[in-house]
Chains A and B, each alone.
Chain A
Amino acid sequence: MADRLPMVDKLWFILPEVALFLGVVVIFIMGLSHSKRVRDMLPMITCLSLAVAFGLTWWVYEGSRGQTLLSVNPNLMLMPMVGKYVKMSACAIGIILAMVSVGSVDRRLEAAVAAGHLPFDPIRANRGEFYAFFLLSLMGVMLTCNANDLIWLFLALELTSLPTYIMVAISRPPRVAQEAAVKYFFLGAMATAIFLYGFALLYGSTGTMILTEMQRAFAAQAKADVVNSFGIIGMILAMLGICFKIAAAPMHFYAADVYEGAAAPVTAFLAFVPKTAGMVAIILLLTTLGWSGHPSTGLPEPIMTTLWMIAVLTMTLGNLGALLQRSVKRILAYSSIAHSGYMLIGVIAGPANNGINAVLFYLLVYGIMNTAAFAVLAALERRGQEIETMEDLAGLRIKHPGMAVVMAIASGSLLGVPPLLGFFAKLYLFIAGIQAGQIVLVVIAGLNTAISAWYYLGLVTLPIMAKPSAQSETIVRSPFPWPRIAGIVTAVAVVVLPLFLGPLIRASQAATTPASLTTGVTISK
């Protein structure tokens, strides 16, 4: 009996998440400790649990038990090996993000306690909660990869999003952070309602919650030449709702305000973590529908058109929006929207054209280069406030040469300047698009890259070539070295990783190899 208690078999694959959960529990309690030394250990414990989860992921998937379970029960998960790739990249980037966030939460409170103005009161402290929610949200991403039914998928997506609402609110004291959090929460709740409704329609049209069975149900419907249109509508609604998580049009409006309101480390987190979860969810859902209906790409026509429009709108609106901004965080927010648009090219291209692994690879690369840019913002400050506008960055090379170079490398990579990592990731996506015959889409993406050069080149040249402005003279290093270290590590990764392109791309290909993807169902029109 292969599927007797499949839950027990699945538990094996969430061991990394269990490790993170133990970390969460320890951090929750440690954050309330009266000893400053214990409280200062929180980021370290966060990194430690992520490192353990990283190792466990490899062991769980590559070990003999994991391999046996997967071969005995192929219906355990829809795309089992995606988990290994996404979980390992989420843990690795999570460690960097935790480094960026050192010293950002509770800074004033800790300073007042250290100076003896205030006794330490656990009810005012937020640091433990911040790092615990940090790990919980990463846990959500990791659980999304293991989802094999709609309820699990829904809960995992919510586990990714709910902690981020609170992280935005407690990331820094100004009211603008709370305003951002409330906006983010209400729009997020609306998006959740939309994709939940989509899930309900998907269940109604296939009669099952389980993704692998859903795939068979859609295949049977396609064979009989009657695909239930409620299934298609449900799929479109689910995709629109998940567009909120990846900050894609038409659900992208929140991004600029929320990214601006949150502290820089949280913004970096928002740009990577929910996006990864959303992309994995979209890929899982589309896989149930199969990839062999459209002559070149495999998706049924209505889904194809929707995705195409979302992709074009997302990249165009993102890049045009960024042109109008002066605040660095808002520029990076719009750039995050635009990058979601690029990634959708890979989703449209589908697994037959290496599209899905291009998306997975791009997610990792985007996480690295975007975190580098935000690490610069987190590492510099003016009178304890974050730096905000482009003018603040002008002539950074004089006083902070390291950070100026990191910013230039990160922006260059986000633009896709050839020797850097971002170029190869983008190239890989565009090749997938061309292989799928989506020439128009790739041309639009190319034009968008040209538009984005305007503001990315601004971010490259301002710190390195411009004269220091009156504003940038007053900028000092943050007293915490870790954001700087994270920035330098990620910038070095952007420069060095292209040398290891082969292994990285092979890893992303291995994530999508099992046949469940390419032997999709045939849906004729």
Chain B
Amino acid sequence: MLAVDLNAYIPVGILVLMAIIFVIVNLAATHVLGPKRHGAEKDIAYESGMNPIGTARKRFNVRFYILAMTFLVFDVEIIFLYPWAVTFTKLAPQSDEATLFLGRIMFFIATSILAYIYAWRKGVFRWD
């Protein structure tokens, strides 16, 4: 017999319902209650306080993106290194587990270094 206690999911349902209502109420309230004043100054795009220059449809050199991807490798690496460092101090020194942990992170760092060598050989950092 396949059966499930759907009652257990009532709180989830209520939460979903509340989320939907919250969004609708907020959007409607801003629309109805919010003051609307237009003007030349007010209608320009917000650029963190700077006066916008030119169009937003400017094309960037593809090298920026490639460099950004390379940055991502190291960015993600640090995200992983941090929790690893916190956990590693709690392990018994020189135990099997600690060796395994160290081996894993060494492998992980080695892969990032290889990724770096690859990017360098590929010519990502050449800017001519």
Contacts and interface: CB of A to CB of B under 8 A. Distances in A.
Interface string A108-126: 0000000000000111000
Interface in A488-525: 524-525
A226 interface: yes
B88 to A, nearest CB: 16
B123 A227 contact: no
Contact of A32 (B1, B114, B122): B122
Interface in B86-128: 96-97, 100, 114, 117-118, 121-124
Interface string A221-236: 0000111111010000
B118 A5 contact: no
B117 A232 contact: no
Given A25-B114, A32-B118, A122 B123 contact: yes
Contacts of B25: none
Contacts, number: 43
Given A5-B100, A25-B114, A229 B122 contact: no
Chain A contact-residue range equals 20 to 34
B5 to A, nearest CB: 9
Contact of A229 (B3, B100, B123): B3
B79 interface: no
B24 interface: no
A302 interface: yes
A225 B100 contact: no
Given A25-B114, A32-B121, A32-B122, A225 B1 contact: yes
Interface string B46-70: 0000000000000000000000000
B123 A121 contact: yes
Contacts of B4: 226, 228-230
Contacts of B122: 32, 122-123
B100 A7 contact: yes
Q: Which of B1, B2, B3 has the most CB of A within 10 A?
A: B2
A5 B124 CA distance: 40
Contacts of B117: 29
A28 B114 contact: yes
Question: Which of B1, B3, B97 is packed against the most chain A CB atoms within 10 Å?
Answer: B1
Given A5-B96, A121-B123, A226 B1 contact: yes
A229 B2 contact: yes
A232 B121 contact: no
Contacts of A2: none
A228 B2 CA distance: 6
Contacts of A25: 114
Interface string A191-231: 00000000000000000000000000000000001111110
A184 B1 CA distance: 40
A524 B117 CA distance: 58
B117 to A, nearest CB: 7
A232 B100 contact: no
Interface string A1-39: 000010110000000000000000100110010000000
B1 A525 contact: yes
A11 to B, nearest CB: 9
Contacts of A228: 2-4
Contacts of B124: 123
A285 B4 CA distance: 21
Nearest to A225: B1
Nearest to B63: A123
Nearest to B115: A28
B4 to A, nearest CB: 5
Contacts of B121: 29, 32, 122
Interface string B13-26: 00000000000000
A290 to B, nearest CB: 14
A8 B97 CA distance: 9
Contact of A28 (B2, B100, B118, B123): B118
Contacts of A232: 2
Given A123-B122, A229-B3, A232-B2, 13 more contacts: A7-B100, A25-B114, A28-B118, A29-B114, A29-B117, A29-B118, A122-B121, A123-B123, A227-B1, A227-B2, A228-B2, A228-B4, A524-B1
18 contacts: A5-B96, A5-B100, A7-B100, A25-B114, A29-B117, A32-B122, A121-B123, A122-B121, A122-B122, A122-B123, A123-B122, A226-B2, A226-B3, A226-B4, A227-B3, A228-B2, A229-B4, A230-B4
List the 3 closest pairs (A to B, CB-CB), nearest first.
A32-B121, A123-B123, A229-B2
